[in-house]
Amino acid sequence: MVQSEPEAQLIARVRGGEADAFYDLVRPHERGIYLAALSIVRNEADAEEVVQEAILKAFQAIGRFRGESKFSTWMIQIVMNEARLKLRRARRHLYDSLDASVAGDEEGDYLPCDFADWREIPSEALENSRLRAALGKAFTTIGAKYQQVLVLRDVEQLSIQETAHLLGITEAAVKTRLMRARLMMRDALAPGFDGAWKKGEPYQKVRPF
């Protein structure tokens, strides 16, 4: 298997004038940055527009990237800022902070369902188009603040500290939101298709994520 080129080398190539190398930098994070945008603007067309604009801005600003954080963290921050800017422009008179307190968000009154048949999703099942559709549908049900922390931690695999910095919340809040996001996704998906993610798979209870 051909290993991907180190990030630092790709950045150096882009700065040296190889514009095509920028796509190799962004490609591993395409899904994550799209979901991050979608979690804010709540519209697929708007999310795509935000991602395109953010990628252009990142390309134009690559010379100012100092490498003090991972490229993915820097890219996600640009995307989220662009998404929030678009939201403010479109709904200026209705705009509320995405971090505004909502009853039940942090007070511990979310009660996950108890599905005995819940099990970890096998990796081969992710190739199933029905499952991909189910994941997408479940993702839209969990609320923006939970979507954002799920994308940053589980999709982009940012650290708790990085996630807290990007969202402007405490590390404890990141942990709480991530736990609830995973539970909500579990409840939205369980118990899978016809009671199991893979037909004929023996039952084995494991942690949801």
Q: Kindly report the CATH number assigned to the domain that includes residue 14.
A: 1.10.1740.10
**How far, in Å, CA of 109 to CA of 130, rounded?**
31
- Put simply, whether the predicted model's pTM sits higher than 0.75 gets the answer no
Q: Indicate whether 37 belongs to any domain.
A: yes
Helix and strand numbers (H, E) in the chain are 9, 0
Q: What range defines the domain where residue 131 resides?
A: 123-195
> Pick from 63, 89, 115: which residue ends a domain?
89
Structure tokens at 74: 């820097």
Q: Indicate whether 202 belongs to any domain.
A: no
pLDDT in tens, the chain (209 residues): 344 678 889 999 999 999 999 999 999 999 999 999 999 998 889 999 999 999 999 999 998 898 888 899 999 999 999 998 888 887 664 544 444 444 444 444 454 554 434 344 444 445 556 667 777 788 888 889 999 998 999 888 899 999 999 999 999 999 999 999 888 888 887 655 444 444 444 333 333 33
Q: Indicate whether 150 belongs to any domain.
A: yes
Closest CA to 4 of 29, 25, 31: 25
**How far, in Å, CA of 94 to CA of 96, rounded?**
6
Q: Are residues 129 and 190 in the same domain?
A: yes
Q: Indicate whether 94 belongs to any domain.
A: no
Q: Answer yes or no: are the C-beta atoms of 43 and 51 closer than 8 Å.
A: no
**Structural domain total, the chain:** 2
Rg (CA), the chain: 19
CATH of the domain at 165: 1.10.10.10
Q: Indicate whether 204 belongs to any domain.
A: no
Q: Are residues 85 and 11 in the same domain?
A: yes
Q: Indicate whether 140 belongs to any domain.
A: yes
Q: Please list, in sequence order, all residues whose beta carbon lies within 8 angstroms of the beta carbon of residue 209, skipping any fewer than 6 positions away.
A: 120, 154, 182, 185, 186
